[in-house]
Every structure is written in C-alpha cells, then in structure tokens.
Amino acid sequence: MKSVLITGASSGIGEAFALKLASMGIEQLFICGTNLERLKQVQEKCLSAGAKAVSIKQLDVVDRSAVAEWVFACNAEFPLDLVYANAGVATGTEYVNSNVFRTFDINVGGVINTVLPAVECFFARENVDPATGLKGKIAITASIAGYHGLPQCPSYSASKSCVKAWGAGLRGMLARDKIGVSVICPGFVRSRITDVNTCPMPFFMEADVCAEKIYKGIMRNKGIIAFPWQMRLVSWFMGTLPEWLSGWIYSKLPEKNDTTKALHNL
C-alpha cells in the first residue's frame, strides 16, 4: 500500500495503525481527527517513523459533505489504496439523549460518510492492483461489542453491530467490482476511551499489537478481523443463548463507568 486514508487517527487504534504504516515507509498518509494538536503530534511521529508524507485534516466525520470533499481531494492528490473508516466514540451515560444521538451519528453516520465516497473513487478506476487483484480496499472499525446487544452499553454495541453487518454485506456486494472490504472487531484496546474505563477489561491489548493484527488481516483481504479469539468466542456464544439466559448473565456483570468525557477523543 502506497496511499492510505484513516479517520479518527489522532489517538488509539487509528494512531497505532498510522504508525504501523509509517514504520513500513508508506509514501502518503492522510489522517483526520477533531483535535488538531494531537493530529500534529501523530504527524510528527509518523514522519519520524519513516512515512514519506503525512497530511492532516481537522474534521468531524459527521459532516457528510466535508468528509466526501476530503476523501475525493486525497484520492485526486495520491490515488488511495485503502480507506479506513476508524473514527468512533463511546456513549458515556446512556440516559443522556444527546450522547445516544452522537454515538450513532459518529459510529454509524461517520462510517457511512467515509465509505461511500471511497466506493465512488474505487468504482471510477479501470485497472486493478496486480498485487491484490483489487481496485482498492475499505476497512471499518466495528467491535466485539457488536456481536450482541449489551445492556451496559446498548447504543455503542448497537452502533457497532450496524457497521459490522453493513461492512459484511458490502464485502459481498463489492467483491464483483474488485473492491475489498474488511471489518475490524477488536476487544479492549488501549485508547483515550479505555483509559477512563473502570470496568473489568479482559484480554486487554496494547494499540500497537492491535494495529499489527489489523494490518495482517487487511493485507490478506480478510472479511472479519476479530480479536482476541477468546472474546470473539464468548460474544458469539452469548448470541446463541435464549434471551432470558443471556439477560441474566449480563445482569451479573458490572456497570460501565461514565465515559462522557471521552466523547470528543477521536
């Protein structure tokens, strides 16, 4: 991959993935986030790590027209090999309506706003990459939480379930058009969101380890990149149980703390 665009790259998984690509000497990175100072720091890190060029954009992925304009402009400057719709937030207090709306606006709307322009860019290409057999690749960050509705974070798990299903469907639909789609479903990964969590976080993973797994999965054009396998297995199993039993099990789990202050940490 020579040219990659990543949303939500000022921290967490997005930053780690950008650094992974930079360490491999990528020619062009396009990254965005809502915090300009953190973006500048990531830009400096990526250039020091070996990236040839890193362009930053302060951008809220909820702004549909602005995101489309940015994706098209980046593709015109240096044709994109991968568009990674990574930006996402935790809900915080579920009883605050504005938190719920923002969760869906960013975690679902922001993904759609990023992916659809990318599809247009790849559709317009006549040739495929001889190394991959694809015109381009799309990656979407969902979550292990998207495998089943969680009473501890219903809005978050629902938003991730939505983009997981949409991404899986897109993969099948776009395969005939030589466009690859990978859906990433991580468990607990170090980020500005998990930094404020007080609930148990089994199989906790550092962001650079997560980025390595994502990179390998995308390079293999893997449809679902879910990890750790233990959490994926448990989440899948919970989804097979009758509602009364899964509901009883979830009721015994500790409540998540209020992560409202992490809402803007893209």
Residues with a catalytic annotation lie at 156
Angle between helical axes of 36-49 and 12-23 (0-180°, round to 10):
20
Strands of the 3-6 sheet, one edge to the other: 54-58, 28-33, 3-6, 82-85, 136-141, 179-186, 224-227
**By the 8 A CB rule, do 114 and 140 touch?**
no
Cα atoms in the Cβ-side hemisphere of radius 13 Å centred on 225: 23
> In whole angstroms, what separates CA 163 from the centre of its chain?
10
* Amino acid letter for position 101: F
Residue identified by tokens 């992560």 is 259
Sequence-ordered list of residues with C-beta below 8 angstroms from that of 260, at least 6 positions apart, any chain = 92, 93, 96, 99
